[in-house]
Structure 1
């Protein structure tokens, strides 16, 4: 990777943008208290907060308040991240929870090290490449997504426990307490929660336990009503007493297995609900992987992300390496968007061919992140024309200028749910954590009496080879982790945190993180502004998805004249971020509008 001629210029850029952020957000201060988790009033939702003592940013004010509470009690960023995630399991149960998995990226201020945990769900040991095939044909997606067949062994409980054991200062019982209280006392239903329930109503009505939990009285929850989950409160209490192992061995684990193998569908279920083959041995054998992060250098900054089984770190990294060749800050909006779209297109072509679970596949991670490979792919991009999709992948093991190897394949569908949180503490530790149960509502199946939905994460596997003539690294296999796009990212400047960010959104996570970084680093936008800017997402497809503000702007016809084609969609992602400021304060940033807006909080708001 080529470095900037003067390394200090990267530091100066970070200082300028951080200083700009202070002026932008200094007067917008989020509440410091812990809201309903300690019995006080509903915490106010604010998208930006600045102050001392640490920061938390998530999509939900009750969840952010849970993390702040732990920080105020002397916990560190890891403790706060687990507390926030547990609360999200209450208030964002359709996006995350103990029935799912995720990726945990952490910066340790004392050692300067970035470390990661792969808590991705795994397929049953009985799974093979034909897991989602019948009579030689792929099963319909709609038939698999709402079934036990789509459920992988959850990784979230084990991730929480390992993160705390390795790097936390509080016990699992301690950090689960705010979420347990929140589940018992309830949270206020907002429009987003009601709409997500409505979107899943048809699926949910197949399962009486899901209806009882999320549709009290059989009706959609009203905005402003209180949603309680005493079953989840009991599950959290069990985990606090017995450890995360309670979900991998014992009565709760038995209930998970029984639910997957024989989904508790009602007598009025409109169609037969397939069972899965998850066993008690699959649960008891699950392990979180502690592994090295992905790493690339961009404009003098060190970008750390999640290595495979996630494709987030390699795909974001490759796209950044492609874009490093030019000075994006000097380009017009049209020119910058063109290069960003084309770099994304090429990086996704390589992602689809090469990235899978490294325990089962030969994934050339180091080569995908090499500048040599990026340069060989960057020469495909022209300023005056658009690449035709799908673009064929290159060969990172033997790169040749503008060369392509195997046949081009499109990017398969990934659910657009998931949630992301970022935390920081007074010692300078930082966490970026993305967790999920796959698409909104997961499998739709609630474990009876336990208060949580099971994931449908195995649908992230390819149901059949994308191309029969090309090896697909993302086919199912025994104990295999499906490829993910989750991209929790921590960026360092000379060994110190510059900022951390991430987002939900399926495969659009990668482009959300990439575009936010470009906005901040190359265009000089304050981090909160970069996060809230209009987005586009190109994933090696004929059309690029763009949000309304870009679709309705003057730049769209300019790009269309160049050859781009677009699809307008309501929103892309729901990102959160944290950043240390030069005066010792923390900036926490979340969405202003997407997914109903996010919640940024700090321990002690203000300048002192």
Structure 2
């Protein structure tokens, strides 16, 4: 199905409506770098046994194939991810990393697996400085300096050893079939290639994605990737070590050394020494639910949790008719501003930074909630001083996040659940290529400036072996009996937090079904201004919120929410209409 074209009338209409506000601004210039390419109409998927929701129908079908073969949710997630690498190469793949939140039903255990990329041993705090000043962001992205040590393959092997049921090699079969036999280029991939253009890619990637004349391969072109198939066959036969050692590892090191602008200094030892980390899950009660996510080095879980606790006692409505009511949007946005202020100052890799342990302290949350004015928006609130703040200075953060990311939600027949957010960072990552796949630009998720203007060290500064701060927010919601209610997450850079919060409120407070919740107009704040998606629903909402003093920022908020929800004894599956995904169940 072709995507519906974006309605070009929305931007000028919103600009006209909002022009009366002196604080209003036009389109957010930092709209999602993985651009909007239109919308699809998705129907709510219904299943009894199992459900997969992912960003491409071919990938979701690969996951369902594993479930039908008796595989676990982890087996399905691995097969889904490998196909995504092929058919949605701009967003995730074995050249990047991921966070997995996994619910083991039989053991009643919730696990967090951190497969985030790491800085090589040669990385220093001044990695992105030139003559003492931060280098241009896009120049850094395309350099070897941006490439972190990929974590995904080791992550997939580790979770399969613990939770897989099918043979490791079987999980590679759908991706190998498609790599060798080809798949049709979608409208989304074609449009994104046209927007990026051939000159931003290294020659090997340019030859793969573009014609000899420099045109993006057309919609419907059957694209084959024999090089990637060979890589997959090697990993299927030799496990993760076939990726982290030997010819594939050498190809990665060579690509990073030969990258445009500057080499990255990655070595074979950096790859060989990569390890997945198991972290404690981060869970909070929210009304009659338990909402769980991942903690640092991701800021997604803490910021989502803090926002939910801030709004928990507030009246934001409890029926579908209350969805997007102005009072709720105002209160949620103000809570997000407070949570983002703390996030930006305090969250980094916990192996390097003493992240305060009191960000969710009840008394601290209550004090922060007093800063929410129900009648007036406040721009750029300052970070608080939570309990557990160690004797460490935290400088003003200067991180810029991109959003080439994807999300997979799965519930299997045994009741196990996977919420997996996976990334190569910006759209098409670093645009560098090795052994048939794109390499990430994850290290640009660090703050380019290691200290702020006052000389205070920044929590998210570069360091050898450090993992850059993330906003990925894979989430699982439980009821009071610890039964899975919802599995969800989204791509979108730092806006992931906004998309997940909107969806949680839509599901848990307003009672929308999974598809309506995913498709609901996006909104929120990252600390400054109120971002509202360019959508017809935003017109009356923007007019209602303007008198509250909000600086309205109309924007193309290109989420990719994927949901599996258990309701009334059945599974609901939803794929965000803003992308080309699918929810498939039986």
Query: Please, what TM-score do these two structures have when normalized by structure 2?
Result: 0.89
User: Closer, same or farther in 2 for the Cα pair 1:293/1:359, shift >3 Å?
Assistant: same
Identify the residue that residue 473 of structure 1 maps to in structure 2: 459
| Mapping 1:511-522, distance limit 5 Å | 511-522=498-509
Identify the residue that residue 572 of structure 1 maps to in structure 2: 558
Per-residue deviation, 1:84: 0.4
Alpha carbons 2:399, 2:446 under 8 Å: kept: no
2:126 and 2:517 mapped to 1: Cα distance?
Answer: 43
Alpha carbons 2:119, 2:466 under 8 Å: kept: yes
Per-residue deviation, 1:125: 1.1
Alpha carbons 1:393, 1:408 under 8 Å: kept: no
Where does the alignment leave 5 or more consecutive residues of structure 1 unmatched?
A: 1-43, 264-271, 400-404
Query: 2:35 matched to 1:52?
Result: no
- SS of structure 1 residue aligned to 2:437: coil
Where does the alignment leave 5 or more consecutive residues of structure 2 unmatched?
A: 1-39
2:183 and 2:581 mapped to 1: Cα distance?
Answer: 16
Identify the residue that residue 386 of structure 2 maps to in structure 1: 396
Query: 2:436 matched to 1:446?
Result: no
Identify the residue that residue 235 of structure 1 maps to in structure 2: 231
Alpha carbons 2:315, 2:328 under 8 Å: kept: no
Identify the residue that residue 336 of structure 2 maps to in structure 1: 344
1:46 and 1:601 mapped to 2: Cα distance?
Answer: 11
| Mapping 1:260-339, distance limit 5 Å | 260-263=256-259, 273-329=261-317, 333-339=325-331
Alpha carbons 1:45, 1:60 under 8 Å: kept: no
Give CA deviations for 1:354-382 in whole Å, capped at 9, x if unaligned: 10001111112x41122222212111100
| Mapping 1:83-98, distance limit 5 Å | 83-98=79-94
Identify the residue that residue 426 of structure 1 maps to in structure 2: 413
Match of 1:213 among 208, 211, 215: 208
Give CA deviations for 1:464-494 in whole Å, capped at 9, x if unaligned: 0473334311000010000000000001112
Alpha carbons 2:349, 2:460 under 8 Å: kept: yes
Alpha carbons 1:444, 1:454 under 8 Å: kept: yes
Identify the residue that residue 144 of structure 2 maps to in structure 1: 148
Per-residue deviation, 1:526: 1.7
User: Closer, same or farther in 2 for the Cα pair 1:273/1:280, shift >3 Å?
Assistant: same
1:231 and 1:188 mapped to 2: Cα distance?
Answer: 18
Per-residue deviation, 1:408: 9.3
Match of 2:539 among 537, 553, 566: 553
Match of 2:495 among 508, 514, 520: 508
1:551 and 1:147 mapped to 2: Cα distance?
Answer: 41
1:436 and 1:45 mapped to 2: Cα distance?
Answer: 25
Give CA deviations for 1:447-474 in whole Å, capped at 9, x if unaligned: 1xx1100000000000004733343110
2:535 and 2:447 mapped to 1: Cα distance?
Answer: 33
Alpha carbons 1:419, 1:436 under 8 Å: kept: yes
Alpha carbons 1:394, 1:406 under 8 Å: kept: no
Alpha carbons 1:95, 1:439 under 8 Å: kept: yes
| Mapping 1:14-413, distance limit 5 Å | 46-205=42-201, 207-217=202-212, 218-263=214-259, 273-329=261-317, 333-364=325-356, 366-389=357-380, 391-397=381-387, 409=396, 412-413=399-400
Alpha carbons 2:143, 2:261 under 8 Å: kept: yes
Give the alignment's Cα RMSD to 1 decimal.
1.9
2:142 and 2:499 mapped to 1: Cα distance?
Answer: 28
Identify the residue that residue 7 of structure 2 maps to in structure 1: none
User: Closer, same or farther in 2 for the Cα pair 1:445/1:408, shift >3 Å?
Assistant: closer
Per-residue deviation, 1:329: 1.6
- SS of structure 1 residue aligned to 2:521: coil
Per-residue deviation, 1:551: 6.6
- SS of structure 2 residue aligned to 1:509: helix
Per-residue deviation, 1:212: 1.3
Identify the residue that residue 15 of structure 1 maps to in structure 2: none
- SS of structure 2 residue aligned to 1:423: strand
